[in-house]
Structure 1
Amino acid sequence: MTTTAGADDVHELLLSHVDRATVGALDDPAVVAAVVAVERLVVATGSTNPELLRDALEGRPVTGADANHLAELVEEGRGHVSAGLIRRASGQAVDAGVVNPASGGYEITTDATLLRAAVRAAQGSIDAMPYYGARYGARGSRFATTDSAWLISLAPLEPERAVHQVEWLARVLAARGMPSWLLEIHLGALVTEVRSVVGPAAGTDPEGEPAADDAEAVGSLPAAALALATTRRQHVDDDLMRTAERWVDEALGAAQPVPRTGALLAAAVADTSAGVTRDDGSLVDWLTDPSRASDTVARELREVRRRILAAAL
């Protein structure tokens, strides 16, 4: 727990970043934590208005936003900034542990603009796929953010090396119930976010360094996304993904455990067929668990899985 002075320092640091004006490389762990915390509020509120973000930080109502969710994000952000101040005082470097203590401290981008893009891509992907929140909760959200920031750090690598690293992450996540199709989507969102903030090179950046264009900023990330998609499509193409969704929708409608259950099942079959993971038990067992699926629902899901396997390439 922070002291009163420490709490004031944390609050002021967060407020100082609601304008989202900080650019360039960040070497202060507390500033990294503040930038991430504010950007998560941007996603949660759907606004970049500094006054609205200030309201969120100070606990005032924000129209259209979930007050409880905002309060949780603010509390978590304060904790990360507080820990960042301790890191700053002890001279510790920036790594994923700044905003995700369970991460083990792997490398993340320290460019402020790209870090914000990573947060938006991660949280946007989570919001678009309710499975993440239903299964992995706040812990999953933190890992999505730091994984996203790590992925951006791969952009400067040669395509072969970047693809190798992304395929490694895909295997890790697939074994934990996240089909590599989800990472494929995340990479696409990440590339879009980076391109939205890094335009064609012209002159210098605010620190006087040559400006990067979007091709340089996204680097090998499009190649990595394509590699995942190509591997998946060799076994489960886009048509079968859509068909699997239709099968589940027709069989269960709103009774399916999470939206897009059919696509998740198809993506897991693709991973098993491609050797990304040994089996799809982690996903299938979760979807058919009695706590979220009746016997009838579980039976229908297994039947859809059987049909996917029969139709897979």
Structure 2
Amino acid sequence: MTEPVDADHAHRILLDHADRKVTGPLEDPAVLAAVVGVERLVVAAGSTDEAVLRSALTGDVVADADPDRVAALVAEARSHVMAGLLRRATGQAVDAGIVNPASGGYEITTDATLLRAAVRAAQGSIDAMPYYGARYGARGSRFATTDSAWLVSLATLAEDRAVHQVEWLSRVLAARGMPSWLLEIHLDALVAEVRSVADSGAVGSLPVAADALGRARRRHVDDDLLRSADSWADEALGDALPVPRAGALMAAAVADERAGVTRDDRALVDWLTDSARSDESATTRLLGVRQRILDEAR
């Protein structure tokens, strides 16, 4: 008998995995989608409690959580599980496309414990940096999740290969307006999440890859300059700041340009100074902060 592929079936699968107890490799695409969907709710709800997660999945209000965000994540999770059910029915492989259809279907970890850690690192990094949501929205959140699940799979590579892969991703993302500093932060969060749930060896080459990004940045923009850039931007623009931490973002983009990761910092600066976000006065002040950064960077 053919299994139903509908929202009710997907909802039941999500509820079945609200306990977060499944471990080991996830070969069923519907289950993988459910694990990812539930873990994204863990971050949004700020809780790993099964009762809280089941409440979120059934549409109840979750204390201290954004109800619109929770509802959107539940709807998206249900859609992804339905896509997983279709894959299950046709025997298709597990890949990033299950939970991120725009990804093209690259390889991600299927280990349930590591996958949860990757999701938490991704969503936590997004929440900590409002720029992600302001610029990339839900699509960016999905890519952060699957990129994180790909990054954690690099842990088993030799250090030089892992660094090479991470540097490649940093160039791709920086060209799209995400300075390498953001990937550096994400990797640090990923290492911390993996260490919290697995043995010390599970992080493998990831700390070395994160350190490689950090060392490359600090040759041109050290941590003190990142902090100073934030202070300069806050002082110069106040409430007119287009996004929080705009100063540090500009400093990080300058570091990428100086390191040869990008040709210039326009992918970020053009967005920050677009008239939809910054009026003429704010743009002038932002560019003034950028010039201070350029003068201080090595």
After TM superposition, is the score higher than 0.5? Answer: yes
**What is the deviation of 1:174?**
0.2
Shift of 1:264: 0.2
Shift of 1:6: 2.5
Q: Cα 1:308–1:20, aligned 2, differ >3 Å: closer, same or farther?
A: same
Per-residue CA distance 1:11-51 (angstroms, 9 max, x = gap):
11000000000000111100000000000111000011111
Candidates 252, 259, 264, aligned match of 1:274: 259
Deviations 1:58-115 (A, max 9, x none): 1111111111111100100000000000001111111000100000111101000110
The percent identity for this pair of structures is 71
Counterpart position of 2:148: 148
Alignment of 1:118-197 (within 5 A): 118-197=118-197
Q: Which residue of 2 aligns with 1:41?
A: 41
How far residue 5 of structure 1 moved from its aligned partner, in angstroms, is 6.6
- Structure 1 runs (4+) deviating above 4 angstroms are none
| TM-score, normalisation: structure 2 | 0.98
Distance 1:4 1:169 in 2: 38
Q: Deviations over 1:257-305 (max 9, x none)?
A: 0000000000000000000011110100000001110111100111111
Residues 179-203 of structure 1, C-alpha deviation per residue, up to 9 Å, x if partnerless?
A: 00000000000000000111xxxxx
Question: What does residue 18 of structure 2 align with?
Answer: 18
Mark the CA change 1:4 to 1:104 in structure 2 (over 3 Å): closer, same or farther: closer
Secondary structure of 2:6's aligned partner: helix
Q: Hey, what's the Cα distance between the residues in 2 that align with 1:268 and 1:5? A: 45
How many pairs align?
A: 296
Q: Which among 256, 261, 272 is matched to residue 241 of structure 2?
A: 256
What is aligned with 1:75? 75
Measured in 2, the distance between the counterparts of 1:23 and 1:231 equals: 37
> Which of 264, 287, 292 does residue 272 from structure 2 map onto?
287
Q: Secondary structure at the match of 2:42?
A: helix
Structure 1 unaligned blocks of 5 or more: 199-212
Aligned to 1:247: 232
Select which of 220, 240, 250 maps to 1:265. Answer: 250
State the Cα RMSD in Å. Answer: 1.1
